[in-house]
Structure 1
Amino acid sequence: MSFGDKIFHFLAYTVLAFLWYNTFFNTFRLERRKALLYAALFSIVFGIVIEVLQGVLTTSRSSDVYDVMANTMGVFLTVIIVFIKNLITIKK
């Protein structure tokens, strides 16, 4: 297990979830909580699907449950950051 690889997965999915949140909130005008929920679900499901497909469709790559865990933790970081930001914004 490459620790650097897991950090990359973590950071990539932090960014991915944030981009999905911005898309749902700013483009589709969903309410903040719903946008955050959809962003988290889409990102986590995407990460799982990609890992499964790597194991099933390729011979040069394999599925890695630790990649899914790193991806999910990155998504949760986005959820925490956006949630705290929204709390601060709403209180002002």
Structure 2
Amino acid sequence: MYTITLATVCLIKINNLPDLGVSFGDKIFHFLVYTVLAFLWFSSFFYTFKFKEKIALLYATLLSIVFGIIIEVLQGALTASRSFDIYDVVANTMGVFLTVIIIFFKNLITIKKQ
């Protein structure tokens, strides 16, 4: 549901968005949204579909990054109000990698506790 909502929000025209007062506020939004997207995909693969953790993380990472690139391309090709932005792709990818780092370090901490 999150993925469908994200795709919809990214491809429709949204008026009167609040100004965050930060010149790169849009990039922060992309970073955070894709951090959540990757985590939700990981959780689905790992907990629902019972993939091994490394495989679940790999699939979540690849799908999230590819999804972000596809959305950016579609924004440039299909919408009049949006455009392709390579920096959005970079922010999306960095958000995905934050999820990877969090999951990786969670595992290191869990292993050391035992």
TM-score > 0.5 by shorter chain: yes
Q: Which residue of 1 aligns with 2:97?
A: 76
Identical columns (%): 76
Task: Report how far residue 45 of structure 1 moved.
Answer: 0.3
Q: Deviations over 1:39-60 (max 9, x none)?
A: 0001000000000000001111
Please say which structure displays the higher CA radius of gyration.
Answer: 2
What TM-score do you get using the length of structure 2 for normalisation? 0.77
Amino acid at match of 2:25: G
Name the CA distance, whole Å, in 2 between partners of 1:31 and 1:88. 19
Q: Which residue of 1 aligns with 2:56?
A: 35
| Residue of 62, 65, 68 corresponding to 2:83 | 62
Name the CA distance, whole Å, in 2 between partners of 1:65 and 1:7. 14
Structure 1, unaligned stretches of length 5 or more? none
Number of positions where the alignment pairs a residue of Structure 1 with one of Structure 2: 91
| Residue of 3, 20, 26 corresponding to 1:5 | 26
- The structure whose residues are more often helix, as a share, is 1
Task: Report how far residue 89 of structure 1 moved.
Answer: 2.2
Q: Which residue of 2 aligns with 1:89?
A: 110
CA RMSD of aligned residues (A): 0.9
Q: Which residue of 2 aligns with 1:22?
A: 43
Task: Report how far residue 90 of structure 1 moved.
Answer: 3.3
